[in-house]
Structure 1
Amino acid sequence: MSYLGLISPFCRLSVAGGAAGSIRTITTNLSPLFFKATNVLLAEPLKKKKKLDPLIVKQREEKRKKRLEKMIKRMEKSAVQYKPIEECDVPMKLIDEKEQRTRHLPPISDETTDERELLKKAWSLYKLRQHYKLMSMVDRVLGSHRKALDELKLESEELYLEAIQVDLNLVPYSSRGPVSTPPINNYPSPDGEYQDVSKLWG
Structure 2
Amino acid sequence: MSLLAAFARLGLQSSRTGIVPGVAVSRCLHISPVLCAEPLKKKKKLDPQIIKQREDRKKKKIEKQIRRLEKNARQLKPVEELEVPLELIDEKDKRQRKLTPLGNAELEERALLKKQWAHYKHEERVADFQIIDRLVQAQNKALAELRSESEELYQAAIEVDPQLLPVTVKGPVATPPIKNYDSPDGDYLHQSMKWEVK
Shorter-chain-normalised TM-score: which range?
A: 0.5 to 0.7
* TM-score (structure 1 length as normaliser): 0.54
Residue equivalent to 2:179: 185
What are the residue-to-residue correspondences of 1:159-178 with 2, within 5 Å? Answer: 159-178=153-172
Residue equivalent to 1:6: none
Q: Does 1:140 align with 2:121?
A: no
Q: Which one of 86, 93, 102 corresponds to residue 108 of structure 1?
A: 102
Q: Which one of 62, 65, 79 corresponds to residue 85 of structure 1?
A: 79
Residue equivalent to 1:119: 113
Residue equivalent to 2:23: none
User: In structure 2, what is the Cα distance between the partners aligned to 1:150 and 1:197?
Assistant: 64
User: In structure 1, what is the Cα distance between the partners aligned to 2:121 and 2:176?
Assistant: 39
Instruction: Report the secondary structure of 2:138's partner residue.
Output: helix
Q: Going by fraction, where is strand more abundant, 1 or 2?
A: 1
The structural deviation recorded for 1:168 is: 2.7
CA distance change for structure 1 residues 147 and 189 in 2, over 3 Å: closer, same or farther? Answer: same
User: In structure 1, what is the Cα distance between the partners aligned to 2:191 and 2:162?
Assistant: 49
User: In structure 2, what is the Cα distance between the partners aligned to 1:186 and 1:132?
Assistant: 51
The structural deviation recorded for 1:103 is: 1.7
CA distance change for structure 1 residues 144 and 195 in 2, over 3 Å: closer, same or farther? Answer: closer
The number of residues matched between the two structures is 129
What are the residue-to-residue correspondences of 1:30-69 with 2, within 5 Å? Answer: none
User: In structure 2, what is the Cα distance between the partners aligned to 1:195 and 1:120?
Assistant: 48
* TM-score (structure 2 length as normaliser): 0.55
Where structure 1 has 5 or more consecutive residues not aligned to the other structure, the ranges are 1-70
Q: Going by fraction, where is helix more abundant, 1 or 2?
A: 2
The alignment's C-alpha RMSD in Å is: 2.6
Q: Kindly, what percent of the aligned residue pairs are identical?
A: 47
CA distance change for structure 1 residues 193 and 109 in 2, over 3 Å: closer, same or farther? Answer: closer
Residue equivalent to 2:25: none
Instruction: Report the secondary structure of 2:79's partner residue.
Output: coil
User: In structure 2, what is the Cα distance between the partners aligned to 1:95 and 1:161?
Assistant: 69
Point out which structure has higher relative CO (alpha carbons under 8 A, 6+ apart): 2
- The code of the aligned residue for 2:119 comes to L
